[in-house]
Amino acid sequence: MHADWLTIELRARGASFARFNTEDYPQQVGLAWDERCGHLRLPTGDVPLEGVTAVRYRRPVPPRMPPEMPAAQAAWARSEAREALLGVWRTLNARWVNHPDRNRVAESKLHQLRTAGRLGFEIPPTLVTNEPDRARRFLESANGSAICKPIYDGRVPTGVDEGVFFTSRVDADTAPLHDLGPEPYMFQSLVT
């Protein structure tokens, strides 16, 4: 929706632009790059990348493979397509809103917390661990209660569909910490 409005405004201003919908990549978008230049072949025409001076990067969709492609092959192809496109983005000499690498850093809760602390913000005591004993000691040091939340993605595949892992209050005396999986969890002191 935002891209639609931006497209209308750019046309009204007579600006030269190309719209690359990432859901079209790589099945409907061609990519070519070498050490001197590159281009994207969009459904609307070719875009020479050396002429790109600004990029608005919003809500990219992972590369989509043909539905008939075997799952393991599709996963590999998706990864290769993603890495090629990220490599192209990293070689553009353009202004970004926002560069994918900067977005990825900004998505890191650990990086956010460390940066906020360095800037003088008060942050609650935090522990990221996959060790139940450390988590229990943390809960005890937090007066028996803390919150637990996912580090990156709260959508949890359950086999048939997916569940949602919400930020939740956990208590030292009732938390089933021994049932945690091998993945790390983020615990923070409860702030009331």
Domain ranges of the chain: 2-104, 124-189
Whole-number percent of the chain with pLDDT over 70: 99
Q: Evaluate if pTM is beyond 0.75.
A: no
Q: What is the mean pLDDT of residues 152-156?
A: 79
* pLDDT tens sequence across 8-59: 999 999 999 999 999 999 999 999 999 888 999 999 999 999 999 999 998 8
What is the DSSP secondary structure assignment for residue 68, as one 8-state letter? Answer: T
What is the DSSP secondary structure assignment for residue 179, as one 8-state letter? Answer: G
> Could you tell me which residue, 23 or 3, shows the higher pLDDT?
23
Partnered with residue 32 across adjacent β-strands are: 39
Cβ proximity of 106 and 112 under 8 Å: yes
How far is 61 from 100, CA to CA, in rounded Å?
12
How far is 84 from 73, CA to CA, in rounded Å?
16
Alpha helix positions (H), the chain: 2-12, 71-91, 100-106, 109-118, 132-141
Beta pairing, strands 30-33 & 155-157: unpaired
* pLDDT tens sequence across 93-125: 999 998 988 888 888 999 999 999 999 999 999
- Burial string for 22-47 (b: 16+ CB within 10 Å, else e) reads beebbeebebeeeeeebbbebeeeeb
Beta pairing, strands 54-56 & 95-97: parallel
We find that the CATH architecture of domain 124-189 is 2-Layer Sandwich (3.30)
